Amino acid sequence: MSTMSLKNKVAIVTGSSSGIGAAIAVKFSSEGAKIVLVGRNQTKLNAVAVKCSDPLVIRAELANDDDVKRILDETIQKFGKLDILVNNAGISLCGSLFTGDLMRSLDELFKINFRAIVYLTKLAAPYLKQTKGNIINISSISGQRVSPILGLMMYSSLKAALDHFSKHAALELSPHGVRLNVISPGPVKTDILKNTDKLETTNTHHISWDEFASTTALHRVSEPEEIAEFAFFLVSEKAKGITGSVVVHDNGKFLKN
Ligand SMILES: NC(=O)c1ccc[n+]([C@@H]2O[C@H](COP(=O)([O-])OP(=O)(O)OC[C@H]3O[C@@H](n4cnc5c(N)ncnc54)[C@H](OP(=O)(O)O)[C@@H]3O)[C@@H](O)[C@H]2O)c1
| Residue range 95-119, pLDDT digits in tens | 999 999 999 999 999 999 999 999 9
Nearest ligand 1 atom, CA 227: 10
Question: What percent of the chain clears pLDDT 70, i.e. is strictly above it?
Answer: 96
Q: What is the reported pLDDT for 202?
A: 62
The pLDDT of 52-56, averaged and rounded, is: 98
Q: What is the reported pLDDT for 204?
A: 53
Q: Would the pLDDT of 203 be above 60?
A: no
Ligand 1 contact via 228 beta carbon (within 6 Å) = no
By the 10 Å C-beta count (0-12 exposed, 13-18 middle, 19+ buried), 237 is classed as exposed
pLDDT in tens, 59-80: 999 999 999 999 999 999 999 9
Nearest Cα to 85, choosing from 121, 53, 51?
121
Q: Is 155 a catalytic residue?
A: yes
Ligand 1 midpoint to CA 39 (Å): 9
- Which range among 39-48, 145-154, 203-212 shows the weakest confidence by mean pLDDT? 203-212
Ligand 1 midpoint to CA 113 (Å): 9
φ/ψ (deg, to 5) at 35: -105, 140
The pLDDT of 168-192, averaged and rounded, is: 98
Ligand 1 midpoint to CA 195 (Å): 8
Q: What is the reported pLDDT for 127?
A: 98
The pLDDT of 165-193, averaged and rounded, is: 98
By the 10 Å C-beta count (0-12 exposed, 13-18 middle, 19+ buried), 137 is classed as buried
φ/ψ (deg, to 5) at 96: -145, -170
As a whole number of angstroms, the distance between CA 37 and CA 62 comes to 13
Q: What is the reported pLDDT for 4?
A: 81
The alpha carbon torsion through 115, 183, 141, 162 (nearest 10 deg) reads 20
Q: Report domain 10-193+223-255's class.
A: alpha beta
Ligand 1 contact via 137 beta carbon (within 6 Å) = no
Nearest Cα to 186, choosing from 239, 224, 232, 154?
224
pLDDT in tens, 113-139: 999 999 999 999 999 999 999 999 999
- Helix, strand and coil content of the chain, in percent to the nearest 5, comes to 50, 15, 35
The pLDDT of 148-165, averaged and rounded, is: 96
Q: Would the pLDDT of 87 be above 70?
A: yes
**Residue 93 — pLDDT band, cuts 50, 70, 90?**
very high
pLDDT in tens, 224-257: 999 999 999 999 999 999 999 999 999 999 999 6
Q: What is the reported pLDDT for 200?
A: 78
Q: What letter represents residue 95's amino acid? A: G
Q: Would the pLDDT of 2 be above 60?
A: no
Residue to mutate (ligand 1; options 118, 119, 192, 253; most atoms within 8 A of CB): 192
- What value does the mean pLDDT of the chain take? 95
The pLDDT of 207-230, averaged and rounded, is: 95
Q: What is the reported pLDDT for 164?
A: 98
As a whole number of angstroms, the distance between CA 24 and CA 86 comes to 9
As a whole number of angstroms, the distance between CA 223 and CA 188 comes to 6
Q: Please list, residue by residue across 52-89, b when 16 or more beta carbons sit within 10 angstroms of its beta carbon and e when fewer do.
A: beebbbbebebeeeebbebbbebbeeebeebbbbbbbb
The two beta strands, 246-249 and 134-138, are unpaired
